[in-house]
Structure 1
Amino acid sequence: MRILIAEDHRIVLDSLYLLLSSMKGVEVVSKHTNGRQVLTALEVEPGIDLVVSDLQMPIMGGIELTLKMRERFPHVKICLLTVADQPDAIKEAIRAGADGYVLKSADRDELETSINMIMNGTRFYSEKVLMTLANEATLDFAMEVDKPQQISITKRELEVLKLIAQEYSGTQIAEKLFIGPTTVETHRKHLMQKLGVQSTIGLVKYALKFHII
């Protein structure tokens, strides 16, 4: 796995380089201090699989980098590593097309897990990020859906819907929410009935349409 990293604080950059380089199967090809340098490196470095980038950097930050990568290098994954846990920052990153959003408070195991999941095609968000989205989704949903359509969805159902939209399996959702797999499926069926969709894909499309993620 060939990785580029971007972080404007030199000490953090060097520490991240050492940490990622120590992971099995990871080759850190180069390190950079802003998004513009990353784009230049992607032009000349073949076979880059993933970019791990800070969110806020001078010249070009993580959001702008993500948008430009989706246009110019759509095959390269990007994981944003940041201290920003505000709902607006998280949603902006997701809508820009980030494959992962990991807080800098994460430990080595979580960072390694995030990288592996992203490279396997699953988006990854830190647990605190997921909870922030769940709480914020309740407000968004109430404003955009509940009032005009009179749809009554519980907070737990919103949590399940959000995780479904993040491509988590029923077993993974059960583990994250500390409920049984059967309960997850019950919530899934109730959501499909309430939202008038016929499949899990329909649930995902609904979540994206109303910015639940």
Structure 2
Amino acid sequence: MRILVADDHRILLDGIAMLLSSIDGVEVVSKHTNGRQVLTALEIEPDITLVVSDVQMPVMGGIELTLQLRERFPHVKICLLTVADQPEAIKEAIRAGADGYVLKNAERSELETALSMIAKGNKFYSEQVLMQLANEAGIELIPDAGKPQKIAITQRELDVLKLIAQEYSGTQIAERLFISPTTVETHRKHLMQKLGVQTTIGLVKYAIKFQII
């Protein structure tokens, strides 16, 4: 796994790079102090698998970097490693398309798990991050609740569920998925029936609980 690292605090940057380099199968190709440098490096560095980036950096921060990666280098994964644990920052990262969101107080084992899951094409949000989202939504979240039961959810219903969990309105969902608001509402009702929930908050709880977003 070939990785680029970005953090504007050089001592932290060196420490993060050293930690990542000590993980089996990981090669830290280069270190950068802002997102723009990362984009420049990606233009010349072949076969980069993942970018590990701070959120708050000068010139270009992690959220804008995530948006740029999705547009210009969609094959490159990004894990945001940050101290920003506010729900709004987390939701902004999810909306931008971040593959992972890990807090800097995480244990080494959690970071290893995050990199492994992201490399396999999965999303990873640390337990603290999920708890922050759940608390903000007034949801009681049980972190070790296990895997979701097998429920026959269509791909379109899953698309709608993801956008509902990211707080898009029915009209916004319709515009993003090129369907009518009435169809969005139909999918919402079907999801509630299938998942056994009574409200939109119940749908959000399901999405957070099983890391669908």
Q: Which runs of 5+ in 2 are unaligned?
A: 167-203, 205-212
Confirm whether residue 208 of structure 1 aligns to residue 175 of structure 2: no
Partner of 1:177: 144
Partner of 1:134: 134
TM-score between the two structures when normalised by the length of structure 1: 0.72
For residues 34-45 of structure 1, the aligned pairs below 5 Å read 34-45=34-45
CA separation in 1, counterparts of 2:18 and 2:102?
18
- Please state whether the residue corresponding to 1:177 is helix, strand or coil: coil
TM-score between the two structures when normalised by the length of structure 2: 0.72
What percentage of residue pairs aligned between the two structures are identical?
66
For residues 24-39 of structure 1, the aligned pairs below 5 Å read 24-39=24-39
- Please state whether the residue corresponding to 1:28 is helix, strand or coil: strand
Higher helix share: 1
Alpha-carbon distance change, 133 to 207 in structure 1, aligned in 2, over 3 angstroms: farther
- CA displacement 1:12-59 (0-9 Å, x = unmatched): 000011100011000000000000000000000000000000000000
Partner of 2:58: 58
For residues 39-188 of structure 1, the aligned pairs below 5 Å read 39-138=39-138, 155=139, 176-178=143-145, 184-185=148-149
Cα RMSD (Å) of the superposition? Answer: 2.0
Alpha-carbon distance change, 203 to 103 in structure 1, aligned in 2, over 3 angstroms: farther
Equivalent residue letter for 2:50: L
Q: Which runs of 5+ in 1 are unaligned?
A: 139-154, 161-175, 190-197
Query: How far did residue 199 of structure 1 move?
Result: 1.2
CA separation in 2, counterparts of 1:30 and 1:123?
24
CA separation in 1, counterparts of 2:68 and 2:159?
24
- Please state whether the residue corresponding to 2:48 is helix, strand or coil: coil
CA separation in 1, counterparts of 2:35 and 2:159?
30
